[in-house]
Amino acid sequence: MEKVITKRFQLIRDVSCNECQWLDRDFKKGEIVFEYPLYIGGVTRGGIACSENDSESPFFELPKDALIVYKEDAPKQVIIIRKDLNMRKGKMVSQGGHASVGVIFNYMTPNYKNPGEMTREFTLKLPEGPVGEFMYRWMTGIFKKIVVGAETLNEMVDAYNEAKKEGIPCSIIEDAGLTEFGGKVTITAVAIGPDDPEKIDKITGKFSLL
């Protein structure tokens, strides 16, 4: 059976037994709790089923507005920008944006009613297993992104190829050269993730923040 990746939450405010009368103790701002993935019903729309240990009973409900995903667990995406091209700041931002959304577009398919006609409907199918779960958590979470710089084309492409080899969602961007690069098609940026931060860091940890 596939192991469920359990979220950890951090409390951003105190939650008392007076506020949530079903609790058997007060919870303090900064405490860490686990999402309880196996509950069946019994939780209100404004609450999340939690436990004090990973997947252990009993579970209890805490208010959604008191919790955020623990920052060390949040799925992330790392965007790599080529520094050697000396792009304008606006150009770097646009290329990073292309790379970021390009990862998601790789999993989207247009639903054509008639071949060749425009459609407003697309199907987004995330990959099976933990990768798809990390992508889902990123898309429904805080969109954690880190932007770093690569000194050369080769080191950026090497990172992209390594990510592909490890099965990490990624994209690589070729600019058409309409506004920079003398009209030449030029590789400008790569996005790695969203996925498990630990996996991504093994590939991108060598790059410096941009």
The CATH number of 8-69 is which of 3.30.9, 1.10.287, 2.30.30, 3.30.70?
2.30.30
DSSP for 95-164, please give it.
Answer: HHHHHHHHHHHTTEEE--SSTTS--S-EEE-PPSHHHHHHHHHHHTTT-EEEEEEESSHHHHHHHHHHHH
Tell me, rounded to whole angstroms, the distance of Cα 207 from its chain centroid.
Answer: 19
Q: Please count the other Cβ atoms lying within 10 Å of the Cβ belonging to residue 127.
A: 15
pLDDT in tens, the chain (210 residues): 444 557 788 999 999 999 999 999 999 999 999 988 765 566 788 898 999 987 677 789 999 999 987 777 789 999 999 999 999 999 999 999 999 999 999 999 999 988 889 999 999 999 998 899 889 889 987 889 999 999 999 999 999 999 999 999 999 999 999 999 999 999 999 999 999 998 999 999 999 999
Looking at the chain, which residues constitute the CATH 3.40.1490.10 domain(s)?
A: 76-209
Rounded distance between C-alpha atoms, residue 42 and residue 63, angstroms: 13
Q: Cβ distance 139 to 125 under 8 Å?
A: no
Supply the pTM of this predicted model. Answer: 0.73
Looking at the chain, which residues constitute the CATH 2.30.30 domain(s)?
A: 8-69
Superfamily of domain 76-209: Bit1 (3.40.1490.10)
Angle at 110 between CA 109 and CA 113, to 5 degrees: 140
Closest CA to 106 of 90, 123, 83: 123
